[in-house]
Amino acid sequence: MTNVESRLELAERAATAGSEIAADGFRNGLAVETKSNKTDVVTEADRNSQRRVIEVIRNEFPEDAIVGEEEDALKEVPPEGDVWVIDPIDGTNNFVRGIPLWTTSVAAVRDGEAVAAANVCPALDDVYAADADGAYLNGERITVSDRTDPETFTVCPTVWWDFDRREEYAATAKGIVERFGDMRRFGCAQIVLGMVASSALDGTVTNIVPNPWDTVAGAFMVRQAGGTVTDIHGEPWTTESRGLVASNGEAHEEVLAAARDAEPYYGN
């Protein structure tokens, strides 16, 4: 197993193995700890899931770099080489509240660009995936929505703002409400990006710098499903970008404008 094509199979297998560990703790009375703030939570299931994902990957590619949310994994994606980006439980706040919107995410990256990705959502019985040929939901090819009228769009603000940045969130939400037909918020960036890729949502926005484990897999899926993913400035999104704006591409400037509504409050 050495070529790019094989990495999707491994991403799915590793994400599935990790998600099974996480699922054992779901709605099962796990102790909850906090990290950087009161809403940045972690459980032993997060740590055990990441260890299992890494174990599966290391069995095939022992020298590849690992970027992950928990423990001593790298926190930035190296610009060169083969890298795996892992989120053992994206949507941990949902997870600890018994809400089934969470996923185990694994993306394979080569020289800074994703080449394969899988988001396994055991509580939903869904698997989002993408490779060089396209994007998939439960094995079926998916594409972004074909809606063109922003007033028919459903758009989601994602990647949560800290307490000292809630004015940015409020401005973003206001921008969405004023421009689009409806708004959702799900608390799991990877699932949200999968929903954009599968046409369930028409766009998603944040103006902050998101972590790679929250975004790399899903952003790749949106692009492989025919969508557009940029930063707050409208430039192609990378793991170093500020902001993430993903859409079906039909009215991306309108979606981007909603994200930019937060800019007057940025840094205040």
pLDDT of residue 4: 64
The residues of the chain scoring below 70 in pLDDT are 1-5, 35-41, 268
pLDDT of residue 35: 66
Residue range 60-78, pLDDT digits in tens: 999 999 998 777 788 999 9
pLDDT of residue 1: 41
Collect all residues with Cβ–Cβ distance below 8 Å to 256 and sequence separation of at least 6: 205, 230, 232, 234, 245
pLDDT of residue 2: 47
What is the C-alpha to C-alpha distance for residues 152 and 72, in angstroms, rounded to an integer?
44
Which helix (H) or strand (E) element contains residue 56? helix 44-60
pTM for this predicted structure? 0.94
51 is written with which tokens?
A: 């260890």
What is the C-alpha to C-alpha distance for residues 159 and 56, in angstroms, rounded to an integer?
28
User: 257: how many CB neighbours lie within 10 A of its CB?
Assistant: 17
User: Environment class of residue 238 by beta-carbon count within 10 Å: exposed (0-12), middle (13-18) or buried (19+)?
Assistant: middle
Collect all residues with Cβ–Cβ distance below 8 Å to 111 and sequence separation of at least 6: 79, 80, 81
> 96 in helix, strand or coil?
helix
pLDDT of residue 38: 65
pLDDT of residue 181: 98
